[in-house]
Structure 1
């Protein structure tokens, strides 16, 4: 766990997932009367089958296998074991599920449905504006500090995965909402040394953010699940649908691989229809 934290700079959430996966693996070893040293490749295949028997998604199974590969690399380096039973074990093929996103009219309806009488209306509006304007992750939003917001140039300095920093621009609408929120809650923001506040005027957590988004949807007439990543998906999809360069979107999202960004190149049926009507020669008047 120390190596994951200090050498690989993984997030607390990822490290907890590693710990859970390793604990589950050791429970399997105990049930089977095995140890990390006696565990061999055939046992690894049995373990893979046991994960599928639980009905886990392929992405979850892949993560657990990846965890145990890293674990055995560590054990070999430490001289605890000699063989790596997971090295030749194939990863499950990835499920090709497209990211879900909101259409522009759904985004507009969400903003319009915000309860202006709510104590946290200004916060909710600023949160929505910033998530949709920048596509930043929930963890990046929660850890954002005022001194990392440049209102003159309208850019954020964001600490992303692996403690990597990137610059993300935001728009006039997000700027206005942020300034209004900060001005109204300035005393409590200063007292907590945290930009985002919960209903008790204490620092907002990622869990609290998800709850706030759930409440926004419940107060609206829209029928969909809303989580920070759906706004991130919407941000990327709308940029690409409107002609943004995919490498620019990759940079804005903080993706290391272009392949990760390419999943957002799916387009809405309406966008597809518009493109067809605009570009197909047969649609031109003769």
Structure 2
């Protein structure tokens, strides 16, 4: 069996059995293609022939090309997962990645917006257009719930209960959770559904909550482009990604007194340690306020 066939089988497995997102599958595909190219250059005929030293050579190549630690870690994660699949299928006897350590990451705190910046960003879409009403509803929902963009684009009309202000979200690994939605988001979504969605949708059978101008389900990339357009209209707001809404949600919740466990549940984090990074953000925020406000700071 060729390397390409092994990779195809792995990607099908990740999609069908692990419910990996399109974003994750694209990264896995690119990382495995790069590793396959390396094996070809080294004259190695397949994953079963890869040794620990071969892996060290591959990492050395990445280092020569000055890949960031985060990128190297992602590639290692993809390759470890690939070999776990091969072991499970009995296609290899050992994994050459068993004794490879992941590079220690530089500590990078998540970027968030201040409440005033978020308010300004939420009011940039034009309410006189169907896409403007849609975009306002999207941003209100992202900020109100802290859900991932990948979770937002999967929402159907049936996923939202506007009367009770909750949404049923399907997260990573097909895990579902209910998240509350604040009144501003409920209002924005209701206005979008009543005044804009029916204009955008071309087929009555379309179930997606948020649709594009052709009436189909929005994609992660479409939302990224949409946000880029509005960010340029807000003074002092730069380098904002869809995930910034999630970071801002968590940071503002903790600053207002929410406990860490509640925020963990709302974000859909499996481990509390993943959520704890936001406590560092709030500490830094408090320190900056202190430094600006106290005469002897």
Distance 1:200 1:220 in 2: 28
Deviation at 1:153, TM superposition (A): 1.6
Are positions 1:180 and 2:195 aligned together?
no
List gaps (5 residues or longer) in structure 1. Answer: none
User: Which of 99, 123, 126 is 1:88 aligned to?
Assistant: 99
1:4 corresponds in structure 2 to: 14
Deviation at 1:45, TM superposition (A): 0.9
> Is the alpha carbon distance of 1:227 and 1:270 closer, same or farther for their aligned partners in structure 2, counting shifts above 3 Å?
closer
- 1:13 matched to 2:13? The reply is no
Alignment RMSD, CA only?
A: 2.5
Per the alignment, residue 78 of structure 2 pairs with 67
**What's the CA shift for 1:85?**
1.4
Question: CA offsets, 1:117-147, max 9 Å, x none?
Answer: 4442211211111111001111111111121
CA–CA separation in structure 2 for the residues paired with 1:119 and 1:151? 20
TM-score normalised per structure 2:
0.86
Q: Trace 1:245-264 onto structure 2 (pairs within 5 A).
A: 245-264=259-278
Shift in Å, 1:275: 7.2
Counterpart Cα distance in 2 of 1:245 and 1:239: 8
Matched, 1:100 2:111: yes
Write the mapping of 1:181-260 to structure 2, written as runs, cut at 5 A. 181-187=192-198, 188-189=200-201, 191=204, 192-260=206-274
What residue number does 1:31 align with?
A: 41
Please give the alpha-carbon distance, in whole angstroms, between the structure 1 residues aligned to 2:263 and 2:60. 38
**Secondary structure of the equivalent of 2:282?**
coil
**CA gap 1:79/1:241 in 2 versus in 1, 3 angstroms:** same
Q: 1: CA distance between counterparts of 2:87 and 2:259?
A: 44
Tell me the CA shift for residue 209 of structure 1.
Answer: 1.1
Partner of 1:271: 286
Return 5+ residue gaps in structure 2 as ranges.
Answer: 1-10
How many corresponding residue pairs? 281
Q: Find the counterpart in structure 2 of residue 141 from structure 1.
A: 152
Deviations 1:69-122 (A, max 9, x none): 222233334443333211111111122111001011111221333334444221
Deviation at 1:51, TM superposition (A): 1.6
Q: Structure 2 CA distance, aligned partners of 1:43 and 1:202? A: 45
- Structure 1 Cα separation of the partners of residues 276 and 64 of structure 2: 32
